[in-house]
Every structure is written in C-alpha cells, then in structure tokens.
C-alpha cells in the first residue's frame, strides 16, 4: 500500500513507462511478425500455386510432366523456339546441320539475318510462363480425320489456334473452326492470311528467309526448288520465325534423327509444347491405308512421304497423349 503520494506517483510513472515500453515492444513484434508473414506469403505464392495448381494455372499443364524421365530426355526448356536478333548468330555445328538440309547456296546468312530484324518484330514472345498463366492451344493438322468431326467449336475455344500450311477454314468451319491466331508455313506452302494472324515461318533454308523479306518488300522471289508465291496477304507486324536450332532440337531430341527432317505438323506440336500451358492436337493421323490424307482434298499423300519419319512422329505424339502432356483428338 502507498503511504507517500510522491513515491506512489513515482511508482505509477515507472509502471506506466514500463507499460508503454512493453506495448511499443509488442507493437513492434506484431509489426515484425506481420511483415515476415506478408513476405513469406509473397515469396511462397508461386510455390504454393505450383503445389496447388501445378506449373501453370490450368487444371493440367504441359510442365506437370517435368518429372517424367521420358519427357525430360526430350523436352529442353532452354531451347528458344523463335529467332531474334539476340540469338541469330548460329554456332558452327548448327550452321553446318542447317546447311545440310538445303541445296548448296552462296547466300550470306549473317546479312540476311540483319535485314530480317530491320523489317520484322524482334520480340521475345511467350516467355511469360508461370503459375498464374493458363494458355490453351489447339494445334490443327490437316488430316482427313477432321472430316465430320464437329470439332469446330472446341478448336475455337482455345486461346491460340495454330494452323499448318494450307489448311483452310472457309467451308470447313464445323469440323475445323474458324479462328486462326497462328499459321505455320514455309514458302512452298504459303497462303494468304488475315491481319490478326501470326505468320510463323519455318526456315528450312536460308532462301526461305530471303523469300520472307521479299514478300514484304520487293516481291521478286517467285521460285525456290519449285514456283512459290512472290506475295501473300499477311501482317508484317505479326511475323515470327522459328529458330534453325529449334528444328535441329526437334529432329535430334524428339525424333532421335528419324526421317531427314521433321514434318511441319510435328515441329508445330513441339512449338506449342514450348509456348502453351495446355495443348490439344487435332487433325493428326494417317488413314487406314497409312496415307497422309487431307480434310480439304481428295488426293492421297504417302504417310512417310518426302523426308519425314511419319510413323515415328505419330508414335511420339501418341506417347505424349498417353502421358497427358497433350490431348490428341483422333477425329471421326
Ligand atoms: O499435309 P500437310 O503437311 O500440309 O499437313 C500438316 C501436318 O499435319 C503434317 O505435317 C502432319 O504432321 C499432319 N498430318 C497428319 N496426318 C495427315 C495429314 C497431315 O498427321 N493425314
């Protein structure tokens, strides 16, 4: 009990100071804890999302296969699909491999590459993969199995619809859809495309790059090993070019060198694996006699026609489907 008011007041002040001190300490402690929790939350958000949702925001992601040995032996996350100014210098080994695909040419690749990026966009597109992204893609091949499939609305529901070579939509909408965000071509397979479609060139040879430049400038190249269109309708701002190193990677890692070089369709499928989170594949597969038939024409193509290992490509496609890396729609 307090007898003297001064000492009593002193004690009260001491107590009050202690109380203020401990309250401040508590507040600082709480602020510290909250900051740690917020930081942990922010830094672990991507990890949490990965654990909860996998490698992307879709319910199933291509990259969920990253622990699969078969997939890891083939998929190289560091291989750049697109040619940019920064990665346009080719190693000697790559240049020699690429030259072997083409007939002898005296064209100076370095000069052509410099011209390319003075004319076309030089962007590193699609490098935004992460746990917050769910980019769905439809790869639409040209197989006759699309006839009567009624896949049109399903194909159009994808974020990206990647079509190949001449594969038309007009008159076939119910089966193949009408949306085209990307069309993969080479000079000999080029067709007109609308303003919103990305023209994606596969440069099988240096002349293909010169043809692309010519299409948007002088329009003077009308022949490669066969007559080609000197001009096509396409948006220059939407042009993309696959990297020759990407073609080598598809041929060596994915196809184990089966065939001389991969088919446009198979290159497109692997391109989609690299830029999409979910890949649906339509219009792949030969007919019952093993012919590469088309949904838009009657004449038949030999399945292993030309230089592609068609059967091996299809086996890899089926394996990817079985492992749930892609979803293959086999058609009618
Ligand atoms: O015939 P084209 O090369 O234009 O077809 C595009 C792609 O579709 C081919 O490169 C091939 O990968 C695929 N395709 C297929 N089965 C077919 C026709 C084409 O797998 N019957």
95: CA distance to ligand 1 center in Å?
27
The answer on 256 and 174 residing in a single domain is yes
CATH number for the domain including 197? 3.90.1480.20
What average pLDDT score do residues 198-218 get?
97
Residue 24's domain comprises 1-53
User: Which residue puts its alpha carbon closest to atom 5 of ligand 1?
Assistant: 142
Instruction: Locate 79 and state its tokens.
Output: 């291989």
Residue 312 is among the residues annotated as catalytic for this protein: no
What secondary structure letter does DSSP report for 294? B
263: CA distance to ligand 1 center in Å?
8
CA distance 248 to 150: 35
* Whether the predicted pLDDT of 6 surpasses 50: no
Q: Which of 38, 53, 68 is the last residue of a domain?
A: 53
Q: Are 204 and 101 in contact (CB under 8 A)?
A: yes
165: CA distance to ligand 1 center in Å?
9
Question: Binning pLDDT at 50, 70 and 90, where does residue 4 land?
Answer: very low
pLDDT in tens, 48-58: 555 454 689 99
User: Which residue puts its alpha carbon closest to atom 10 of ligand 1?
Assistant: 265
Instruction: Locate 171 and state its tokens.
Output: 């008159």
The answer on 107 and 5 residing in a single domain is no
The answer on 283 and 240 residing in a single domain is yes
CA distance 296 to 302: 16
Q: Which of 53, 70, 95 is the last residue of a domain?
A: 53
Instruction: Locate 132 and state its tokens.
Output: 């917050």
- Specify the number of domains making up the chain: 2
Question: Binning pLDDT at 50, 70 and 90, where does residue 1 land?
Answer: very low
Q: Is 268 in the pocket of ligand 1 (CB under 6 A)?
A: no
The answer on 76 and 188 residing in a single domain is yes
The answer on 49 and 66 residing in a single domain is no
Strands of the sheet containing 198-201, edge to edge, are 240-241, 198-201, 182-185, 160-164, 136-140, 278-282, 327-329
Q: Is 280 in the pocket of ligand 1 (CB under 6 A)?
A: no
Q: Which of 53, 69, 93 is the last residue of a domain?
A: 53
Instruction: Locate 44 and state its tokens.
Output: 């672990």
pLDDT in tens, 240-258: 999 999 999 999 999 999 9
- Least-confidence region, from 34-48, 181-195, 277-291, 298-312: 34-48
42: CA distance to ligand 1 center in Å?
46
The answer on 284 and 137 residing in a single domain is yes
CA distance 199 to 195: 10
User: Which residue puts its alpha carbon closest to atom 12 of ligand 1?
Assistant: 265
Q: Are 239 and 246 in contact (CB under 8 A)?
A: no
How confident is the model at residue 2, as a pLDDT? Answer: 41
The answer on 315 and 221 residing in a single domain is yes
How confident is the model at residue 8, as a pLDDT? Answer: 44
CB atoms within 10 A of CB 301: 17
Rg over CA atoms, the chain: 29
The answer on 119 and 29 residing in a single domain is no
For residue 184, the surrounding DSSP H or E stretch is strand 182-185
Query: How far is the CA of 310 from the CAs of 146, 166, 307, 314, in angstroms?
Result: 18, 19, 9, 6
Residue 261 is among the residues annotated as catalytic for this protein: yes
Gap between the terminal Cα atoms of the chain: 96
Instruction: Locate 85 and state its tokens.
Output: 């100014």
Q: Is 164 in the pocket of ligand 1 (CB under 6 A)?
A: yes
∠ CA 35-37-40 to the nearest 5 degrees? 105
Instruction: Locate 165 and state its tokens.
Output: 């070579």
CA distance 171 to 177: 10
Question: Binning pLDDT at 50, 70 and 90, where does residue 229 land?
Answer: very high
pLDDT in tens, 66-87: 999 999 999 999 999 999 999 9
The answer on 87 and 37 residing in a single domain is no
How confident is the model at residue 18, as a pLDDT? Answer: 72
The answer on 40 and 59 residing in a single domain is no
Dihedral over Cα of 91, 266, 295, 328: its sign: negative
Better pLDDT: 17 or 148: 148
∠ CA 84-189-149 to the nearest 5 degrees? 105
For residue 280, the surrounding DSSP H or E stretch is strand 278-282
């Amino acid at each position: 009990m307090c007898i003297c008011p001064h000492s009593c007041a002193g004690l009260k002040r001491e107590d009050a100071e202690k109380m203020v001190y401990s309250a401040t300490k508590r507040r600082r402690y709480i602020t510290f804890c909250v900051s740690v929790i917020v930081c942990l939350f922010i830094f672990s958000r991507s990890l949490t999302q990965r654990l909860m949702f996998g490698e992307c925001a879709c319910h199933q992601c291509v990259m969920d296969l990253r622990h699969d040995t078969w997939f890891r032996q083939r998929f190289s996350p560091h291989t750049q699909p697109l040619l940019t100014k920064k990665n346009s210098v080719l190693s000697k080994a790559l240049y020699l491999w690429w030259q072997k695909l083409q007939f002898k040419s005296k064209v100076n690749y370095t000069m052509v590459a410099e011209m390319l990026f003075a004319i076309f966009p030089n962007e590193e597109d699609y490098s935004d993969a992460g746990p917050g992204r769910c980019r769905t893609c439809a790869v639409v091949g040209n197989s006759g199995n699309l006839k009567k499939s009624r896949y049109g609305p399903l194909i159009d529901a994808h974020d990206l619809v990647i079509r190949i070579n001449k594969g038309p939509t007009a008159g076939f909408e119910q089966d193949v859809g009408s949306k085209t965000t990307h069309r993969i071509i080479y000079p000999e397979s080029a067709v007109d495309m609308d303003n919103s479609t990305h023209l994606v060139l596969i440069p099988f040879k240096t002349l293909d790059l010169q043809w692309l430049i010519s299409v948007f400038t002088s329009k003077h190249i009308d022949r490669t090993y066969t007559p080609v269109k000197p001009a096509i309708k396409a948006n220059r701002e939407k042009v993309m070019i696959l990297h020759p190193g990407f073609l080598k990677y598809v041929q060596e890692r994915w196809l184990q060198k089966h065939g001389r070089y991969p088919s446009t369709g198979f290159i497109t499928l692997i391109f989609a694996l690299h830029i999409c989170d979910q890949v649906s594949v339509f219009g792949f597969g030969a007919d019952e006699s093993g012919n590469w038939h088309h949904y838009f024409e009657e004449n038949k193509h030999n399945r292993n026609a030309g230089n592609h290992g068609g059967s091996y490509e299809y086996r890899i496609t089926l394996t990817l489907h079985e492992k749930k890396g892609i979803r293959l729609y086999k058609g009618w």
